[in-house]
Amino acid sequence: MDVKAQSSGHNLYLGIGLITLAFFCAAVMSTLSKAATGVPPLTILFLQYSISFLVFVPSAARSGRAALKTEHFALQLFRSLAGSACQLLFFIAVRSIPLLDSVLLSNAAPLFIPIVVYVWFRKTVQPLVWLSLAIGLVGIILIIKPGPQMFQNPASLIALIAGVLSAIALVATNKLTETEPPTRILVYNFGLSTLLLIPISAWSWKPFTARQWMLLLGVGAFYALTQYFIILAYRYASAAELSPFNYTVVIFSGLLGWRFFGNVPDAAAVAGTILICAGGILSIWAGHSEGRGHAFGSGHWQWKWKFPERRNGLSAVGKV
């Protein structure tokens, strides 16, 4: 998979089609992780990142060693930790609550990004963004249904915390785009996460059935496909144009949850879903550029250089 930034001309409809396909793959990945009963979440997380690392590393190798040298290792590590924690909490939560709820809450990052941006960069939160947060908060309340039962089964809260971590990882990724090319960000994200997870996943490792292995390989493959189709989508349209389509993952997750797990949302869940999506899209539209990205803490793609220029003997690459 080629992860070098390329400008392929503006084609909004193709960009929308590719981003929608990306989030269909994300919904399939989430479905497979929920179906992988009996597999420790840490193992799912390890194979997700390790498979993606193996898929993307050939493109990184072609870029040369100089293209992988970073001056922001601490931020790369912080981004990897936040993203890994987000994914792990999602894999834990999806075991106990409907697929739609877990995907929706863990993808509520746009509602938290304005707060993260304010704390991190001290950028003012506009009144319209506060309105989007209020709309999303009402939706979250309808989904998690606060009460004593919420503490007996805290899976909804866990998924919501995953959404907060996703917001932090997304802002960190977009901070990295100021200096780091896409190959570097992806390789460090997948590589550092894989290395950190080796000793932890080894501790929880156990033999798996053929069905479990197929599901685990599917999680890794569809996660890599999600990243790749997002890369392609941002070659044809901007983050501002494509970010609202992030929430197609909610539609696909609802359909897959109904088809394979018999999850039928009640009226409150449907209303909550609509409000969270509406609040998230409004936050993306009215908020800062740091909020324009996609699911699970990955940043958006911008183009800094023209192609096919070569600088210092290396092919020019853009920002992720």
Q: Express each pLDDT in 187-210 by its tens digit.
A: 899 999 999 999 988 887 889 999
**Full residue range of the structural domain in which residue 183 is found:** 12-302
Does any domain span residue 4?
A: no
Residue holding tokens 């790369």?
76
What is the number of other CB atoms lying within 10 angstroms of the CB of residue 146?
12
pLDDT at position 204: 79
Q: Give the count of domains, the chain.
A: 1
Q: What is the pLDDT of residues 1-40, one digit of tens each?
A: 555 555 567 788 999 999 999 999 999 999 999 999 999 9
- SS3 state of residue 237: coil
- SS3 state of residue 1: coil
Question: Given a cut of 80, is residue 49 above it in pLDDT?
Answer: yes
Question: Given a cut of 70, is residue 239 above it in pLDDT?
Answer: yes
Phi-psi bin for 319: left (phi > 0), alpha (psi -120 to 50), beta? beta
Does any domain span residue 161?
A: yes
Does any domain span residue 3?
A: no
Q: Which residues contact 196 (CB under 8 A, 6 or more apart)?
A: 80, 81, 84
Does any domain span residue 313?
A: no
Q: How far apart are CA 203 and CA 226, in angstroms?
A: 29
- DSSP for 55-111 reads HHHHHHHHH-SGGG--S-HHHHHHHHHHHHHHHHHHHHHTTTS-HHHHHHHHT-HHH
Give the model's confidence band at 306: pLDDT under 50 very low, under 70 low, under 90 confident, else very high.
very low
Question: Given a cut of 60, is residue 320 above it in pLDDT?
Answer: no
Does any domain span residue 314?
A: no
Q: How far apart are CA 155 and CA 100, in angstroms?
A: 13
**What's the maximum distance between 2 C-alpha atoms anywhere in the chain?**
62
Question: Given a cut of 70, is residue 70 above it in pLDDT?
Answer: yes
What number of H helices and E strands is found in the chain? 13, 2
Does any domain span residue 309?
A: no
pLDDT at position 304: 44
